A and B are shown apart, each in its own frame.
Chain A
Amino acid sequence: MSTQLTTPTDRQTAEAIAVGKGEPSWLVALRGQGAELSATLPWPKPEKVKIERWNLTAVGQYEATEKVSSIDELPQSVRDLIAEGTENLLVQKNTGVAWSQISAELTSKGVIFTDLETAVKEHGELVQQYLFQAIKLDEDKLTALNAALWNGGVFVYVPKNVEVELPLQAILYNDKAEATFAPHILIVAEANSRVTYVDSTVTVKDAVSAPFTHPALVEVFVKQGAQVRFGTVHSLGESGVDLSLRRAVVENDGRIEWIIGDLNDGHTVSDTKSVLVGNGSSSDTKIISVGQGKQQMSLTTQAVHFGKSSDSNMITRAVMRESASAIINGITKIEHGATKANGVQAEKVLMLSPKARGDANPILLIDEDDVTAGHAASVGQVNPEQVYYLMSRGIEKTVAERLIIHGFLAPVVSEVPVEAVRDQLNRLLERKLQG
């Protein structure tokens, strides 16, 4: 059975779906509130990109996803992404979870790694304590819409002092434009814990040609002294719009690392923010992107410093081909009282066509004197001296350019924690760069 949603959604429908899934009353109320607000709140307004001109209404309808009994039933393109021999894997297909496994070892340590819907059922209080706390549901239409619609999703909970050695891997894919695809990823790392999470968010490309919108939220809570590495590679289809908002709240001496590949074929808003509330907290954000065709993208990295001696570093590297355009914003905000904070950012865009567009906007907002901050931004073409140098060693021009472009993106690619995802990233780059 499927339920038609009006566009984008309404309270009654959202609540009915929630009740139908047996969700607790607090969540039913949250969904209703989200649905209502989504009708009135405006879309996010990223700098210089008019997203309201995009087709944002195709949020699809709720369709229960059946779990597969073996990962062999997943499409080949999805299976290719799975880390070899992994024991900790979650797969979301369209509206719900299709596969979920966690090692007995991690379970015995109290680690939770499951889809968010299951987590609501099994660890309701824990989820309620954090869900929509880093990102408020009433911030804009996107956050409200996700509250109303989110499904499947990921919940990671790492207890105090527990170090999860191997990366937890999730694959979130859609193969049907008409089904709602709105994940919500929630990660809680308790004091002095450590975890790496990596996901691939992909469209099974031959199966989807109709428009769809992917309103996705990520919330990460990094408690005192904890360390979270969050890696994600997005490769949604050309007919899709990816609206992804990510936020981490980092307490004393905690650390968040974001490694993000925005490699969709369609329009993209990607906004990743670290809120450094704790003293000595730190954040490292690395983003790469390749744009092609008529793609429009808004890529934003943000660090907000409240804690003393907090540290942030943000790097965005984008390659723009054909008529693609990217507006890249880096926002470092240092609040009053965040003494000895240090915030550094660099945005670089490589343009491979005269019609491509790339804007890099570094913004430093500093309300404290005793800080250090720096930014670098550049927009340019492949350096002809570099091409000449490589060619002078016998390397063909096209190969030389490819080496230089891959080299430009290498600082991020090499950081991706799971080999299968790193390979995915390299395959995607190869495909997107060759056209």
Chain B
Amino acid sequence: MSTKFVIDGLKAEIEGKEILKGINLEIKGGEIHAIMGPNGTGKSTLASALMGHPKYEVTDGSVSLDGEDILEMEVDERARAGMFLAMQYPSEIPGVTNSDFLRSAINARRGEGNEISLIKFIRQMEGKMKDLEMNPEFAHRYLNEGFSGGEKKRNEILQMMLLEPKLVILDEIDSGLDIDALRIVANGVNAMRAEDRGFLIITHYQRLLDYITPDYVHVMMQGRIVKSGGPELAQRLEKEGYDWVKEELGITDETVGQA
């Protein structure tokens, strides 16, 4: 069965403030969906709510991956079910080496009794690190500690490549990346395109989409998807900005939940 990810009427709030006001989206295996929009429109909240960040409370709607109810699951269960979120601000975990962490994560996914052999793991990790042009010493560094912004993002993509998820969410993966790093990260994502894997790319700028061509582009404002289209929509947004969308829809303030 090919991957099918369905968000239906998703509403979520943080500290009592509603940010997501009913999101509907369906992503099939092999598809890349981009969510664009100005700051403060709920894009990152969508990513966090889908992954199950404890600060966000889902108040309505449903999310399923291959028919399984995602919202019923704990964060780790969602990951093991095949979800992956490359975070905008990955945590630093002092004292835990990147390679120990990666192996724990892979083994958590594979389950007890089916652990990856050390040699196979090292071979895979080193191969993918090479693809991402990461210095091999990053395997032995503490997880994200002292990594630059770009190094953290590459490390997120490294995790994605090793964990081989079914549904990948990239939250502002392009922020803080120079053009070389952007190319490397994009290559990593493109290499992972597959029939049984869907992507949801959240981005502020069109430039990432110059490297990763989406099948669908959605514009988010006021906690909703207000417009959807093909790759040409991203190009128009790049050229003309968001004002025409606001005008077309009669929106004056596109943000949501701002103080």
Contacts and interface: CB of A to CB of B under 8 A. Distances in A.
Given A407-B96, A411-B95, A389 B76 contact: no
Given A394-B76, A407-B96, A389 B90 contact: yes
B219 interface: no
Contact of A391 (B79, B90, B109, B163): B79
Contacts of B52: 392
A392 B75 contact: yes
A400 B85 CA distance: 17
B183 interface: no
Nearest to B95: A407
Contacts, number: 82
A403 B108 contact: no
A392 B93 contact: no
A389 B79 CA distance: 11
A404 interface: yes
A228 to B, nearest CB: 26
A404 B76 contact: no
A395 B91 CA distance: 15
Contacts of A391: 74-76, 79
Nearest to A403: B96
A396 B108 contact: yes
Contact of B51 (A390, A392, A404): A392
B53 interface: yes
A207 interface: no
Contacts of A392: 51-52, 75-76, 78-79, 84-85, 87
B75 A407 contact: no
A407 B94 contact: yes
A386 interface: yes
A403 B80 contact: no
A406 B163 contact: no
A109 interface: no
B56 to A, nearest CB: 11
Given A388-B54, A403-B104, A407-B142, A395 B93 contact: no
From B53, B54, B74, B95, name the one whose CB has the most chain A CB atoms within 10 angstroms. B95
A382 to B, nearest CB: 11
B91 A386 contact: yes
Contact of A399 (B85, B90, B91, B108): B108
Interface string B64-103: 0000000000111011100011010011111110001100
A401 to B, nearest CB: 11
Interface of A: 383-386, 388-397, 399-400, 403-404, 406-411
Given A392-B51, A404-B93, 20 more contacts: A386-B92, A388-B54, A388-B91, A389-B90, A390-B104, A390-B105, A391-B74, A391-B79, A392-B52, A392-B76, A392-B84, A393-B104, A394-B108, A394-B109, A399-B104, A403-B93, A403-B100, A407-B96, A407-B142, A408-B95
